[in-house]
């Protein structure tokens, strides 16, 4: 689903010849009792001649999301047009952190060969989600992104210019990740910190060739450890 949307965004950007046409935003919140939620927002700029039609690739179904997962509560999809942008939001709620993590494996994915350096779908699976580890006085949080294809393909003669253009457009696509935490932050490598909220912003082009590890540590209490683990 996300890979398909990513392909559509590239086409729209080529047509519009402008940067900043797609933003992928994820907001994850963890409460002290373990209840967790996630909001995945896809913000796509639409050229004037496409504003009256919703691309079929944007049609995300929530029926099977979280199916069969104990502790999963709800998934809701909404789509609206705001200021020339088509905004699709997928919100998910779960009664526990583990249930929310498992829900990510039920997000719709494309069953295609991996022909891109960034497998966007794999960024939103349980394996690609935040990992928690009890360190005693603190809880360690990590999230690791690894390029699906670390070997750069050789460009065919005459295609160098197109490769540079695609790279430039991918660089304009940002992955914005927000994490609201249930206790005080001890340390992190987040770009922004606002109280217990951490924010990372990563260009997709950078992810295509670099391993990225998000890191944070928060204060642990017996009640919090019990709720999360």
- The tens digit of pLDDT for each residue in 116-151 reads 555 677 778 999 999 999 999 999 999 999 886 544
**Stated pTM of the model:** 0.82
**Unique residue bearing structure tokens 């005693």:** 136
Strands (DSSP E) contained in the chain are 22-30, 36-45, 72-82, 85-94, 131-134, 138-145, 174-180, 185-188, 192-194, 197-203, 212-219
Q: Which of 23, 25, 40, 118 is nearest to 76 (CA)?
A: 40
- 6 pLDDT more than 60: no
pLDDT of 216: 98
pLDDT in tens, 151-191: 444 444 444 544 554 555 555 788 999 999 999 999 999 99
Question: Which pLDDT band holds residue 223 (cuts at 50, 70, 90)?
Answer: very high
Q: What is the pLDDT averaged over residues 195-210?
A: 92
Instruction: Name the helix (H) or strand (E) containing 162.
Output: helix 160-172
Q: What is the pLDDT averaged over residues 202-227?
A: 94
Q: Which of 98, 215, 117, 226 is nearest to 163 (CA)?
A: 117
pLDDT of 104: 94
């Amino acid at each position: 689903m996300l890979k398909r949307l990513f392909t559509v965004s590239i086409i729209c950007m080529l047509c519009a010849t402008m940067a900043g046409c797609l933003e992928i935003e994820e907001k994850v919140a963890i409460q002290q009792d373990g209840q967790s939620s996630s909001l995945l927002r896809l913000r796509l700029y639409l050229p004037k001649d496409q504003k009256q039609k919703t691309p079929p690739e944007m049609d995300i179904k929530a029926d099977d999301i979280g199916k069969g997962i104990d502790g999963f509560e709800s998934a809701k999809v909404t789509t609206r047009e705001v200021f020339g942008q088509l905004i699709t939001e997928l919100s998910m709620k779960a009664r526990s952190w583990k249930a929310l993590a498992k829900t990510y494996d039920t997000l719709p994915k494309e069953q295609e060969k991996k022909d891109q350096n960034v497998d966007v779908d794999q960024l939103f699976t349980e394996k690609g989600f935040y990992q928690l580890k009890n360190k005693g006085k603190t809880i360690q949080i990590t999230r690791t992104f690894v390029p699906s294809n670390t070997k750069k393909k050789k460009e065919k003669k005459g295609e160098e210019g197109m490769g540079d253009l695609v790279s430039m457009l991918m660089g304009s696509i940002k992955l914005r990740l927000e994490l609201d935490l249930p206790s005080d932050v001890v340390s992190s490598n987040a770009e922004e910190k606002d109280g217990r909220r951490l924010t990372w912003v990563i260009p997709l082009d950078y992810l295509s060739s670099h391993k990225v590890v998000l890191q944070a540590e928060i204060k642990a209490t017996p009640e919090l450890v019990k709720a999360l683990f």
